[in-house]
Amino acid sequence: MSTLTLTHAQVLDPSLGLNQLSDIVIEYGFIIDITAAGKSISTNPEFNAEKALVIPGLIDLSAHIHNIASETVAAAKGGITHLCAQPNSRQLIDTPANVSLLQQASAKANSSRLLPIGALTQKLAGDQLANMHSLKQAGCIALSNAREPIKNALVLRRIMEYATTHDMLIMLTAEDCDLSANGIMHEGPTANRLGLTGIAEVAETAALAQQLLLVELTGCRSHFSQLSCGRSVSMIRAAQAQGLPVSADVAIANLMFTDEDVDGFDSTFNVQPPLRSEKDRQALLAGVNDGVLAICSNHQAQDIAAKKAPFAAAEPGMSLLDTWLSMMLTLVNKGELDLSAVVNASSILPAKILGLKAGLQREQLANLVVVKQDADICYSIDSLLSSGKNSPVLGEPLKGEVKLTFSAGREVYRA
The secondary structure element, H or E, covering residue 280 is helix 278-289
Q: Treating both helix axes as pointing N-terminal to C-terminal, what angle do 96-109 and 68-77 enclose, rounded to 10 degrees?
A: 50
Indicate whether 392 belongs to any domain: no
CB 262 within 8 A of CB 311: yes
Q: What is the pLDDT of residue 182?
A: 85
Number of domains, the chain: 1
Nearest in space to 170 (alpha carbons), one of 225, 235, 94: 225
Q: From CA 146, how far away is CA 225, in angstroms rounded?
A: 9
Cα dihedral sign, 408-343-103-320? negative
**Residues 6+ away with beta carbon under 8 Å from 243:** none
pLDDT score at 238: 98
Give 254-293 pLDDT, tens digit per residue. Answer: 999 999 999 889 999 999 999 999 999 999 999 999 999 9
Q: Name residue 34's amino acid.
A: I
What beta strand segments (E) does 262-343 contain?
293-296, 299-300
Torsion sign, CA atoms 40, 42, 48, 49? negative
User: How does strand 18-27 pair with strand 4-13?
Assistant: antiparallel
Residue 171 confidence (pLDDT): 98
Q: Is residue 196 part of a domain?
A: yes
State how far the Cα of 20 lies from the Cα of 170, in Å rounded to an integer.
Answer: 37
Tell me how far apart the alpha carbons of residues 173 and 199 are, in angstroms, rounded to a whole number.
Answer: 15
Is the bond preceding 273 in cis, omega lying within 30 degrees of 0? yes
What CATH number has the domain bearing residue 333?
A: 3.20.20.140
- One-letter amino acid for residue 207 of the chain: A
Q: If you ran DSSP here, which 8-state letter would residue 346 be given?
A: I
Q: Where are the beta strands (DSSP E) in 145-277?
A: 170-172, 185-186, 198-199, 222-224, 246-251
- The answer to whether residue 40 sits within a structural domain is no
Ranges of residues in the chain with a pLDDT under 50 are none
The CA distances from residue 387 to 58, 67, 252, 390, in Å, are 20, 7, 19, 9
Does residue 406 lie in a domain region? no
pTM, whole model, 2 decimals?
Answer: 0.96
Question: What is the C-alpha separation between 10 and 7, in angstroms, rounded?
Answer: 9
Q: What separation, in Å, do the N-terminal and C-terminal C-alpha atoms of the chain show?
A: 19
Cα(132)–Cα(122) distance, integer angstroms: 10
Written as one letter, the residue type at 151 is K
> In this structure, are residues 6 and 370 in contact, taking their beta carbons and an 8 Å threshold?
yes
Residue 338 lies in a domain: yes
Is residue 164 included in any domain, yes or no?
yes
Q: Which domain holds residue 241?
A: 58-358
Residue 1 resides in a domain: no
Strand, coil or helix: 413: strand
Give the pLDDT confidence score for residue 105 in this predicted structure: 93
The verdict on residue 415 lying in a domain is: no
Q: Which residues contact 233 (CB under 8 A, 6 or more apart)?
A: 227, 248, 283, 284, 286, 287, 292, 293
Give the separation between CA 346 and CA 297, rounded to whole angstroms. 9
The Cα 178–Cα 188 span in angstroms is: 18
